[in-house]
Amino acid sequence: MTSIDNTAKPDAWFKIEQGVFKAGGRWTIAESARLDQQLRNLDAGPGEAITMDAGAVEKLDSTGAWLLLRTRKALENAGRTVGTLKVPERYASLLANLDHDDKKRRPPPAPRMSPWRYRLYRIGKATVEAGRQGWRMLGYLGRVTVETGEMIAAPRKNLRFAAMAVQVEETGISALPIVGLLAFLIGIVLAYQGADQLKRFGAEIFTINLLGVGVLREIGGLITAIIVAGRSGSAFTAHLGSMRVNQEIDAMQTMGLNTVDTLVLPRVIGLVISLPLLTFYANIMALIGGAMMCYFDLGITIPVFLRQLNQAVDVSTLMVGLVKAPVFAFVIALVGCYEGFQVERNAASVGQLTTRSVVESVFLVIVLDAAFSVMFSVLGV
């Protein structure tokens, strides 16, 4: 580590002789760490009056000057009467500049709490904040819903198809490789684990049932939604957040542009279009992965696989999975946009809110998925 500390040849010195504090050498920042320690343990000796003579100082900077002033203060606080503090003429203005009333500049002490109380305080604060956050998000959900409804009921002529198409491309088409690869791998894993267990009963063929129902009803949709929340939800927050930092959103508002209309709806609608399509694609890829595993691991040929799959699932199984996708999409886009608008004008804020946006949307997707399961079981689907 580079250091400017002058440890090789200490140069600044001070001593107390017959009621005179004498200092000399180079009183600069390079010597300050050492001087600081020594001055704190200063033994001023007997007597009451003391004078300070720093006339022999060759070089003085603001740190050194401040150490001199602090020493004077410390001596005064110890009950000594300090006469003048003498420094070379050229440093008189520096000293005068720093020699203000010390009381005014001392920062107020930070409020202190006992550790337990502080923990309690933090839990309470986080709880209240979570409640408020939920309340605000509900308000935002209401606003976006109303505006979406209005737009569907009476499509405005300035509906932003181009912006929407861009969002479909960004969130849908660009996500095809990653979603496809992950779904394919999930299909392999699921088929392998299923086959491994079911082999013991000689019921290998039911691996296909497990795979078909599992992927189509649950896994396909869930995996896709989580990937998209991490990929597009975060992008929404970061993009809108940067626009806020840059005052672009303020500019839009002053031009009378409705930010929900121009920024939120294209993203919400774009994602509501692309997520179900992505989910369907992920389902297919997962089934292909599973079919491959069945072929290599269990020796089930493709025609046999398809026949069994045909018996195991029907269109309603697929629909149960797909019907959730638009809801997930709506929530992901809503949270992403909402958090983007919460960004404050500093660099750390964008990062914090992007993290929060992803955590919240993944959380909500899983909660909603559970709610759907309960609902479907009640409905007997």
Partner 1 sequence: MVMEADKTGQAKKDVIIHVEDLVTGFGSKIIHDHLNLDVYRGEVLGLVGGSGSGKSVLLRTIIGLNAPRQGTIEVFGKRTGYAEGSRMRSLEVRWGVLFQEGALFSSQTVAENIQVPLREYTSMSQELMDEIAAMKIALVGLPPDTAQKLPSELSGGMKKRAGLARALALDPELLFLDEPTSGLDPISANQFDELIGELQESLGLTVFMVTHDLDSLAAITDRIAVLVDKKIKTGTIEELRKDTTPWIHEYFSGPRGHAALAGSH
Is residue 62 involved in binding partner 1 (CB under 8 A)? yes
**Identity of the residue, 78 or 371, whose beta carbon is nearer to partner 1 in the bound complex:** 78
Among 11, 16, 26, 33, binds partner 1 (CB under 8 A): 33
Q: What residue type is 197 in one-letter code?
A: Q
Q: Which of 15, 43, 79, 107 binds partner 1 (CB under 8 A)?
A: 107
Among 4, 113, 138, 251, contact with partner 1 (rule: CB under 8 A): 4
Minimum Å gap between C-beta 259 and partner 1 is 22
Shortest CB 237 distance to partner 1, Å: 18
Binding status of residue 5 toward partner 1 by CB under 8 A: yes
The verdict on 61 binding partner 1 (CB under 8 A) reads: yes
Smallest gap, in angstroms, from Cβ of residue 36 to partner 1?
Answer: 5
In angstroms, give the least distance from the CB of 71 to partner 1: 12
26 binds partner 1 (CB under 8 A): no
Alpha-carbon gap, residue 11 to 238, rounded angstroms? 53
Sequence-distant (6+) residues with CB within 8 A of 260 are 143, 144, 147
Can you tell me which of 18, 41, 77, 108 binds partner 1, judged by CB under 8 A? Answer: 108
Q: Which of 345, 355, 363, 367 binds partner 1 (CB under 8 A)?
A: 345
Q: Can residue 9 be called a binding residue for partner 1 (CB under 8 A)?
A: no
With b meaning 16 or more CB within 10 Å and e meaning fewer, what string describes 6-16?
A: beeeeebbbeb
Among 15, 104, 157, 200, interactor with partner 1 by CB under 8 A: 104
Q: Given candidates 8, 17, 18, 37, which one binds partner 1 under the rule CB under 8 A?
A: 37
| 62-70, 155-163, 320-328, 361-369 -> range binding partner 1 (CB under 8 A) | 62-70
Output the six-digit token pair for 40: 């704190």
Residue among 30 and 168 whose Cβ is closer to partner 1: 30
Our finding on whether 301 is near partner 1 (CB under 8 A) is no
When asked if residue 29 is in the footprint of partner 1 (CB under 8 A), the reply is yes
Asked whether position 2 contacts partner 1 by CB under 8 A, the answer is yes
The 3 state secondary structure assigned to the chain is CCCCCCCCCCCCEEEEECCEEEEEEEECHHHHHHHHHHHHCCCCCCCCEEEEEEEEEEEECHHHHHHHHHHHHHHHHCCCEEEEEECCHHHHHHHHHHCCCHHHHCCCCCCCCCHHHHHHHHHHHHHHHHHHHHHHHHHHHHHHHHHHHHHHHCCCCCCCHHHHHHHHHHHCHHHHHHHHHHHHHHHHHHHHHHHHHHHHHCCHHHHHHHHHHHHHHHHHHHHHHHHHHHHHHHHHHHHHHHHHHCCHHHHHHHCCCCHHHHHHHHHHHHHHHHHHHHHHHHHHHHHHHHHHHHHHHHCCCHHHHHHHHHHHCCHHHHHHHHCHHHHHHHHHHHHHHHHHHHCCCCHHHHHHHHHHHHHHHHHHHHHHHHHHHHHHHHHCC
Residue (70 or 80) nearer to partner 1, CB: 70
Instruction: Out of 14, 28, 235, 328, name the contact with partner 1 by CB under 8 A.
Output: 28
Q: Contact between 344 and partner 1 (CB under 8 A)?
A: yes
Span near partner 1 by CB under 8 A; candidates 90-98, 170-178, 206-214, 249-257: 90-98
Q: Is 94 a residue that touches partner 1 (CB under 8 A)?
A: yes
- Give me the least distance between CB of 21 and partner 1, in Å please: 19
CA gyration radius for the chain? 35
CB of 23 to partner 1, least distance (A): 17
Q: Are 224 and 179 in contact (CB under 8 A)?
A: yes
**129 is a contact residue toward partner 1 (CB under 8 A):** no
Residue in the structure block whose two tokens are 């004498």: 22
The residues binding partner 1 (CB under 8 A) are 1-5, 28-30, 32-33, 36-37, 61-63, 66, 70, 90, 93-94, 96-98, 100, 104-108, 110, 344-348
